[in-house]
């Protein structure tokens, strides 16, 4: 009896001999769409953009719209629906109901059940041959398959196969049917023209699902077993050659492989690994798992839209469907491909291969590599100029930019760039090329002469370049400073210097610090615009340039006491690129204070101390922010009361009989705060009479 992960619902599929166990923890899914309870089967009609999902726990089929990714209808069917198949030519879906021993026929135009066909015991898998209008249904407990005429919805034949068959697939080109016999660890091969078993192929342990690639004439079998069998490792895919019905390869996949789908267009095979909560993606050409996609809880059935490349996975344990897309083609290029650019004028793609120091040239019309061009060391960024037919490649290990002539695929120049050039962007309208150097600069290249005309300071760790030709703007993300530098395309470089005087001020008097910014031009005219003085994310003040210079100050109490790095950043104008100064340190010292203590009466009678009000005032050196915190009034080392300051003032009363008869010298002590230094009042005499 097979234990499979269908989540906490604890569904018992008696007809299948399936006991539900708790699933392993699920990992993140590319996209999840909620459907019914315990979805097992899934099929896609690519002609209508509709996905059909059988919900074994709710006896329904969810109808999904591929365009919106939503469930648009729910169709009641028989008991415990498992397998689903579609015939795009007739817009019909077929559902194997394992609990009621029937196949429900759904009209895709109305989403209504138009027939229920009685078949064998516990029907599970289902396959449709649209070319012959034939439906094949696996009967798990009858050890047979039912052959249905799609035109009449009548069973025309029953074929005996191996023990406990589960999955079925058909090759419409060769008219051959393949049945996964779970209990026999084999595949039954049936001639569709005679409905006779022509061969039995031993495969892995507990084969559960089967798929066919008619183009390569290869059959892929998902072996779900966990104990091993026939010398084949558990959780594997057996590859069978149709030409001689022999296993040619065995590919290890995730745990509990129960679903499979083959895309003959892309040469990818998708295997649902129920216990791994993932889909193994097999490359048919290499017969190896090229990637693993995390999906929902207990993935079971897999469906494909070969037109759009969409993949749909029914997650039995979570009541969801995961969806993701696959690439249309996979091309072999150089080692460690990194940067890529396309020339739309010539339909050519250029790929920088970082580890092989080459650029692969791809013809888009047939997706083939037509040339390999040697460039500098560690090519990263690639940009193609369709106007001039020129390709620029940044070589971050040799600090150069290779210039390739598209007509000859030859390097015509190697330009010295900044330190570690990693990315490149171009403005085809101005023929300006911008190279991001990881040393914190952008090199500007004039395409007409292939010369570097400017070096522009940006943030820390520039990683990419984006150019908006319509606004003549260049955007450089700086991953080291979490900023984006905006450069006016085609502008000259500038250099910003910041002078700070004095470099030390007192809290409350920060306006005495004057920031002077000077922007040095690289052309005869003066830069205009604004310079912003900042400390980290805090803007201190703005300077409007006059003759390329200007001044500004911050307001009183604009900064707390401490040391602050300050930087002046020039935003640039229509002629000059922005630039930033080096950092200048500004120190803000704590402000001094003066504390005074006042008595409501200099004399009082013993026992009546509560009549005495002690008032304090703490005045900062500069008006503005008022000191805060707690202040203590003492006699010698004895604290008489503690006063909480509000706006620099406060008061307290003495406790009854706090002092015996006599004369006392009272003093108020302010300990200071983050922005204010402490101070002590003059001593005040208080006389207590008996």
At 344-389, the pLDDT tens digits run: 899 999 999 999 999 999 998 888 999 999 999 999 999 998 888 9
Regarding whether 249 and 108 lie in a shared domain, the answer is yes
For Cα atoms 592, 593, 595, give the angle at the middle one, nearest 5 degrees.
Answer: 155
Decide if 384 is inside a domain: yes
Decide if 331 is inside a domain: no
Q: Which of these three, 574, 589, 604, is where a domain ends? A: 589
Q: Which of these three, 473, 488, 503, is where a domain ends? A: 488
Decide if 335 is inside a domain: no
Residue 336 pLDDT? 92
473, two tokens: 């703007």
Decide if 502 is inside a domain: yes
Regarding whether 607 and 571 lie in a shared domain, the answer is no
Does residue 206 contact residue 232 with C-beta atoms inside 8 Å? Answer: no
Q: Could you give the count of Cα atoms lying within 13 Å of 679 in the half-sphere of its Cβ?
A: 21
pLDDT for residue 12 is more than 70? no
**542-600 pLDDT, tens digit each:** 999 999 999 999 987 789 999 999 999 999 887 677 889 999 999 999 999 999 999 99
**CATH code: domain of residue 669:** 2.60.40.10
Please count the structural domains in the chain: 4
Regarding whether 354 and 269 lie in a shared domain, the answer is no
**CATH code: domain of residue 475:** 2.130.10.10
Regarding whether 141 and 204 lie in a shared domain, the answer is yes
Regarding whether 600 and 580 lie in a shared domain, the answer is no
Residue 29 pLDDT? 46
Provide the pLDDT confidence category of residue 471 given band limits of 50, 70 and 90. confident
Decide if 330 is inside a domain: no
Regarding whether 516 and 462 lie in a shared domain, the answer is no
- The b/e string for 89-121 (b: 16+ C-beta within 10 A; e otherwise) is eebbbbbbbbbbbbbbbbebeebebebbbebbe
Decide if 75 is inside a domain: yes
Regarding whether 582 and 597 lie in a shared domain, the answer is no
Residue 359 preceded by cis peptide, ω within 30: no
SS (H, E, C) 547-612: CCEEEEECCCCCCCCEEEEEEEEECCCCCECCEECCCEEEEEECECEEEEEEECCCEEECCCHHHC
Residue range of the domain that includes 604: 593-689
Q: Which of these three, 325, 352, 368, is where a domain ends? A: 325
Residue 446 pLDDT? 75
Regarding whether 400 and 321 lie in a shared domain, the answer is no
C-alpha 41, offset from chain centre = 29
Regarding whether 561 and 641 lie in a shared domain, the answer is no
Regarding whether 599 and 655 lie in a shared domain, the answer is yes
Measured between alpha carbons, how far is residue 255 from residues 166, 225, 236, 252, 496 in Å?
A: 18, 9, 8, 9, 61
User: What does DSSP assign to residue 22?
Assistant: P
Decide if 84 is inside a domain: yes
Does residue 423 contact residue 436 with C-beta atoms inside 8 Å? Answer: yes
Regarding whether 387 and 304 lie in a shared domain, the answer is no
**Helix %, strand %, coil % of the chain (to 5):** 0, 60, 40
Residue 418 pLDDT? 87
**541-551 pLDDT, tens digit each:** 999 999 999 99
Phi and psi for 508 in degrees, rounded to 5?
95, -10
Residue 429 pLDDT? 65
Regarding whether 449 and 321 lie in a shared domain, the answer is no
- Rounded to 10 degrees, the C-alpha dihedral 404/407/408/412 comes to -30
């Amino acid at each position: 009896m097979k234990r499979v992960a269908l989540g906490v619902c604890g569904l018992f599929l008696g007809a299948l001999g399936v006991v539900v166990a708790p699933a392993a923890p699920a990992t993140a899914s590319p996209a999840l769409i909620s459907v019914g309870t315990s979805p097992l089967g899934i099929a896609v009609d690519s002609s209508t953009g509709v996905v059909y999902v059988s919900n074994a726990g709710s006896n329904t089929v969810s109808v999904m719209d591929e365009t919106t990714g939503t469930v648009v209808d729910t169709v009641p069917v028989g008991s415990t629906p498992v397998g689903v198949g579609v015939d795009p030519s007739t817009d019909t879906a077929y559902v194997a109901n394992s609990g009621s021993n029937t196949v429900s026929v759904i009209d895709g135009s109305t989403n209504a059940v138009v027939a229920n066909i009685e078949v064998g015991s516990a029907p599970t898998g289902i396959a449709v041959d649209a070319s012959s209008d034939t439906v094949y249904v696996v009967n798990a407990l009858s050890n047979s398959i039912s052959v249905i005429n799609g035109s009449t919805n009548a069973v025309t034949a029953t074929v005996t196969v191996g023990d406990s068959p589960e999955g079925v697939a058909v090759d419409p080109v060769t008219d051959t049917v393949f049945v996964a016999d779970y209990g026999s660890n084999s595949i039954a091969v049936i001639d569709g023209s005679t409905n006779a078993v022509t061969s039995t192929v031993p495969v892995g342990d507990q084969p559960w699902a089967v798929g066919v690639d008619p183009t390569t004439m290869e059959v892929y079998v998902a072996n779900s077993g966990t104990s091993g069998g026939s010398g084949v490792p558990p959780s594997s895919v057996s590859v069978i050659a149709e030409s001689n019905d022999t296993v040619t390869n065995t590919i290890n996949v995730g745990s509990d492989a129960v679903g499979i789908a083959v895309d003959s267009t892309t040469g990818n095979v998708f295997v649902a690994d129920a216990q791994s909560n993932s889909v193994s993606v097999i490359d048919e050409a290499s017969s190896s798992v090229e990637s693993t996609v995390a999906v929902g809880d207990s993935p079971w059935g897999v469906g494909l839209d070969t037109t759009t490349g969409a993949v749909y996975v029914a997650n039995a344990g979570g009541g969801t469907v995961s969806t993701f897309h696959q690439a249309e083609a996979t091309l072999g290029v150089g080692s460690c491909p990194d940067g890529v650019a396309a020339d739309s004028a010539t339909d050519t793609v250029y790929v920088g291969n970082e580890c092989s120091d080459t650029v692969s040239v791809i013809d888009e019309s047939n997706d083939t590599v037509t040339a390999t061009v040697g460039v500098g060391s560690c090519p990263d960024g690639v940009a193609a100029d369709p106007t001039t037919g020129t390709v620029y490649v940044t070589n971050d290990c040799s600090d150069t930019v290779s210039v390739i002539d598209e007509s000859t695929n030859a390097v015509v120049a190697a330009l010295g760039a900044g330190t570690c050039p990693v990315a490149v962007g171009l403005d085809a309208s101005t023929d300006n090329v911008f190279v991001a150097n990881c040393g914190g600069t952008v090199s500007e290249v004039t395409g007409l002469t292939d010369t570097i005309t400017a070096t522009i300071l940006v943030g820390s760790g520039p990683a990419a370049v984006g150019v908006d030709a319509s606004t003549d703007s260049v955007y450089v993300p700086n991953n080291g400073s979490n900023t984006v530098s905006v450069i006016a395309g085609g502008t000259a470089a500038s250099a910003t210097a910041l002078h700070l005087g004095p470099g030390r001020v007192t809290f409350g008097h920060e306006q005495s610090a004057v920031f002077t910014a000077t922007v040095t031009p690289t052309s005869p005219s003066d830069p205009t615009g604004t310079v912003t003085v900042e400390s980290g994310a805090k803007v201190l003040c703005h300077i409007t340039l006059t003759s390329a210079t200007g001044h500004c100050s911050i307001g009183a109490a604009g900064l707390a006491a401490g040391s602050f790095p300050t930087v002046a950043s020039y935003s640039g104008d229509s002629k000059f690129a922005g630039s930033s100064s080096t950092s200048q340190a500004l120190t803000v010292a704590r402000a001094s204070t003066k504390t005074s203590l006042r008595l409501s009466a200099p004399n009082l009678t013993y026992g009546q101390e509560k009549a005495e009000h002690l008032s304090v005032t703490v005045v900062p050196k500069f008006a503005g922010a008022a000191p805060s915190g707690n202040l203590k009034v003492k006699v010698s080392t004895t604290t008489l009361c503690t006063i909480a300051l509000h706006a620099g003032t406060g008061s307290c009363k003495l406790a009854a009989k706090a002092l015996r008869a006599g004369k006392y010298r009272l003093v108020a002590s302010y300990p200071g705060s983050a922005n204010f230094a402490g101070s002590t009042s003059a001593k005040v005499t208080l006389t207590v009479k008996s």
